[in-house]
Chain A
Amino acid sequence: MKTLKYIFAILILSISFVSCSDDDENTPVEVNPVEGLTMIYEIPAADHTVQIYSEKQSLEVGYNEISFRIKDLASNEYVTNAAPSWTPMMHMETMEHSAPHSMLSNSEESTVYKGYIVFQMASNSTEYWELMLNYNLKGQAVEEAVMVTVVQPADGMKKTQVFMGSDDTRYILAYVNPKDPKVAINDLQAVLYKMENMMSFPMVENYKITVDPRMPGMGNHSSPNNVDMTYNSSTKMYNGKLSLTMTGYWKINLKLMNQSGEVLKGEDVTELNPESSLYFELEF
């Protein structure tokens, strides 16, 4: 009987222990809305500041996801109704132009306005990028501008192509995903814009981009079950599949085709033609 009592005691203790841990799980955890992001710029203003975040340490040529928050210094709260818009501007010595960019949205996190910009070139000592922000604060339209530095990607991989298609249109194609490629079938994503003029870069819809990954270091080894990228109207991006059979340096050979199947840029990879003129590079 004595043993039985102990067993009961242990049982009761363990039940109460289990219930405690249940309580813990139910406690809501404070989520940091900019978790994992780096604040790369902070623009001070009279009664508020604008904080600009990126996943990377600095803005790079190509596709950049950018988030920003507006902090009201009076209330110490982040603004949720700023309805912002933005325009990136490249100031070159003889001319200036914008860059393809998305709209801004705070649908994921009400305090964080999120979008992306595809920078076509790096800035240097005489040519610089400026990011213009327009937003509402306490019923007032505010405009702020910040000079930003755009560098070539640290790994030196070409993930953005600016080219003239055979239809005499200038296109900008930028790699989006996978950010962290794996030996697997990866979800491949890219964005495609055309350049109407210096300031207008509309998104190109319903074209097709063929995918042929190759390893030049392994006799141009390729992989099976890749899926060509097609336009997805909900993500507003080109989605496909990218099979990578091993780690290392891969060249993703691409071909851009319009709705009627005409090739605008890129060539098939053959024995005689080891690479396409339109490609992405990646290393992992």
Chain B
Amino acid sequence: MKLSISVFPLSEIRMGCFLGAMLCGILTSHLYAQEIPGDSLKLIQLNEVIVISAGKQLDHQKQRKPLSTLDEFLESSLSVNMVKRGAYAWEPTMNDMASERLAVTIDGMQIFGACTDKMDPITSYVDVSNLSEAEIGSGQQGAMFGNTIGGGINLKLDKSNFKPTGWTGSLESAYETNNKMRVFGGELNYSEEKFYLNTDAIYRKADNYYAGGDKEVLFSQFEKYNFSINSGYKLAEDKSVSATLIYDEANDVGYPALTMDVSLARAVIGSVSFNQDTLFGSLTNWESKLYYNDIKHTMDDTKRPDVPIHMDMPGWSETAGFYTQANFNKEKNHFFFKLDGYYNRSYAEMTMYPVDSNEPLMFMLTWPDVHTKDVGFYGEDHIPLEKASLKLSTRLAYHSNTVADDFGLNSLKIFYPEMEKTNTRFLKSFSTKYHKMLNGFHLNGGISYGERAPSVSEGYGFYLFNSFDNHDYIGDPELNTERSADANLSVTYKKPTFEITAGANYFHIFNYIIGVVDPSLSTMTIGADGVKIYTNLDYAQLFNASLSGKYNISNAFKLSGSVSYHRGIDNDGENLPLISPLSYRSALDFYKNQYSASLSVNGAGEQVNYNPSYGETKTAAYATLSASFGKRFFIKDNDLFVKTGIENILDTYYSSYTDWNNIPRMGRNFYLTISYSIN
């Protein structure tokens, strides 16, 4: 399989408007409204689009920091928070739920990280250079991308899509003072009506960063590069084929919050797709895609002083999948149908080197070659009504996990002697959403139900060490399906000069999966406090609420602000971990005559609701101040954009609730970004 990927002829071509097609014509027009990243806090938006495309002059003025990492872009979104284990590979969370409860896809492709310790969320395998935007659906609004509880994030690749632009290119570079991050990137594109080819490359290298007060955070360095090629060819006026290939590699990535680093995180992601305007006369925007990706992740503790025992922990994740989708309009109904499936293999092992070198190596399978098969059908119907609209959607999926490795199966049978090799489930999701306009008020409300299967770690993990609560975790192959019922409501009042939105959502999650201490078990990791088994709680409750506003002081000045509140408790009323405290954000943005500037403040209240049994400590309140300044120059037909800024101006020493083991965040940081586009 690996071979077949590396010999993908580059001429193979790929079709582009996957998510464009998904959005076009079926979702309400307010979904098009591109949110300006960073202008307000984590709100309870049902759907959101974050503009990323670093090289596009179109969006520069909207971005405070154009060449920041994808993690920073997502962090700037209204509904995404990022869990940080260092300066790199942050893990997205939505509605206070992380990877296992989200469906995160790249251009509709399912990809699963290869690290048992969540050091490689799939967002770490792409870069801003090859993305145009991130589409975010809260709760079951993300079910289009896969089975989910908390929501879905789709990272949409940047493609020319047969626009007659000819040759274009750009060069970008950035420098940040705090961790001496150097970024070099470039892209070269050719596009005409029958053919397009997009290529881009980006390289980032950063040293250790310094927290407020000039305190160096050891092991926070990283180095990464990413290449991608997209190409499309029109077979006929209404038919085209396209292909994508992404290669992403990170080396020497430090994880200051963990006990080990990463020597290699590598992804090869490829797809071919076929697109046709109509099918069987009545279906439109028919798109089909076949994809494959291969991820290798190698942890490394050789640079750490005083490790009690040296370990090698490589992991592999390989996924092949497809989807085919089309729209169908009948009278007032706008249907969208999608059939998708994937096959994933996850394998991870651990080899420990005893202090007494005469003893044999200690070996275990931490992911026992779990084969996951998932085939799903997604359908939605959008019905415009008078000054209102209704959206109904459903996902029905067959999901199975098989432990393919006998060594791994026998290992798990130590805990579950009766366990079956294969576990099959049927997953369901239903959602309704209603939107009503009333004298300048927009009312959005929805209720939905969704289910998800346990992740590979939750179902089959074998002594996975979690440094946050200092426990070893063991999966349970007999876990029940997690089921969530949620309701959401938001009210927006819109006037030409200002807009104010209040929103809230509530998730009641049955069979909530979380690690529960089993005091009878003995730890594996030296120094761990105990062993937790992934267990279904009867239920857990999550509540999120937010208030945000925008005010256009003048054409040039815009003020925005937001505040949000989050709460998560289990069935005993105990706090769930990694739930945001009260947080707020405000910004003043200026844009006139190709000059842009911003001043923003971010902060959070004291973390009142935390849970020490999950390793949490009370995170103190903090606030940081940042500013940016940019100017766009025209040089003949070309475009030069310069942006500079200061983050954490007051050099505050702080950490937020998302910082793994409370590692401090970056202190004062100056950055400079230069992009030059040749049109």
Contacts and interface: CB of A to CB of B under 8 A. Distances in A.
Contacts of B438: none
Contacts of A7: none
Interface in A208-262: 215, 217-225, 243-249
A218 B526 contact: yes
A185 interface: yes
Given A224-B520, A248-B354, A183 B411 contact: yes
A221 B524 contact: yes
A284 interface: yes
Contacts of A246: 350, 352, 362-364, 524
A218 B524 contact: yes
Contact of A247 (B363, B410, B413): B363
A248 B352 contact: yes
B386 interface: no
A179 interface: no
B236 interface: no
Contacts of B407: 182-183
A219 B355 CA distance: 11
A224 B363 CA distance: 18
A83 interface: no
A252 to B, nearest CB: 14
A184 interface: yes
Interface string B353-365: 0111001111111
Nearest to A155: B360
A217 B355 contact: yes
A184 B359 contact: no
A245 B309 contact: no
Nearest to A246: B364
A283 interface: yes
Contacts of A225: 414-415, 417
A222 B522 CA distance: 5
Given A217-B359, A221-B522, A184 B364 contact: no
B524 A185 contact: no
Contact of A217 (B354, B523, B527): B354
A284 to B, nearest CB: 7
Interface residues of B, number: 30
A243 B352 CA distance: 19
A221 B413 contact: no
Interface in A172-213: 182-185
Could you say which of A219, A222, A225 has the most chain B C-beta atoms within 10 Å of its C-beta?
Answer: A219
Contact of B363 (A243, A248, A249): A248
A219 B362 CA distance: 13
Contacts of A219: 308, 523, 526-527
Interface string B228-252: 0000000000000000000000000
Nearest to B407: A183
A102 to B, nearest CB: 30
Given A215-B362, A218-B309, A245 B523 contact: no
B525 to A, nearest CB: 8
B414 A249 contact: no
Contact of A184 (B354, B410, B520, B523): B410
Interface string B49-63: 000000000000000
A217 B353 CA distance: 9
B523 A223 contact: no
B362 A218 contact: yes
B34 to A, nearest CB: 51
Given A217-B354, A245-B463, A224 B360 contact: no
Nearest to A217: B354
Interface in B167-209: none
Nearest to B518: A224
Contacts of B527: 219
A107 B355 CA distance: 48
A222 B407 CA distance: 19
A247 B354 CA distance: 11
A246 B415 CA distance: 13
Contact of A224 (B355, B359, B362, B414): B414
Contacts of A243: 414
A218 B352 contact: yes
B521 interface: yes
Contacts of B361: 247-248
Nearest to B462: A245
Contacts of A220: 522
B435 to A, nearest CB: 53
A223 B360 contact: no
Nearest to B528: A219
B561 to A, nearest CB: 51
A151 to B, nearest CB: 19
Nearest to B526: A219
Contacts of B417: 185, 225
A222 B356 CA distance: 19
Could you say which of B308, B352, B527 has the most chain A C-beta atoms within 10 Å of its C-beta?
Answer: B352
A113 B361 CA distance: 39
A57 to B, nearest CB: 20
Could you say which of A215, A244, A245, A249 has the most chain B C-beta atoms within 10 Å of its C-beta?
Answer: A245
A49 B413 CA distance: 48
B523 A248 contact: no
A245 B414 contact: yes
B410 A245 contact: no
A183 B410 contact: yes
A218 B465 CA distance: 14
A262 B309 CA distance: 39
Contacts of A248: 352, 354, 359-363
A223 B352 contact: no
Contact of A249 (B359, B413, B521): B359
Nearest to A222: B522
Contact of A221 (B359, B414, B523): B523
Interface in B584-617: none
A182 B417 CA distance: 15
Contacts of B356: 217, 249
B365 to A, nearest CB: 8
B307 to A, nearest CB: 13
Interface in A81-98: none
A158 to B, nearest CB: 14
B485 to A, nearest CB: 35
B363 A217 contact: no
Interface in A136-184: 182-184
A247 to B, nearest CB: 4
B477 to A, nearest CB: 15
Interface in B335-393: 350, 352, 354-356, 359-365
The 4 closest A-B pairs by CB, nearest first: A184-B410, A248-B362, A222-B522, A246-B364
Given A185-B414, A247-B360, 6 more contacts: A219-B526, A221-B524, A246-B362, A246-B364, A247-B361, A247-B362
17 contacts: A183-B364, A183-B411, A184-B410, A184-B411, A220-B522, A224-B520, A224-B521, A245-B364, A245-B411, A245-B462, A245-B463, A246-B350, A246-B352, A247-B362, A248-B361, A249-B360, A284-B360
Interface of B: 308-309, 350, 352, 354-356, 359-365, 407, 410-411, 413-415, 417, 462-463, 520-524, 526-527
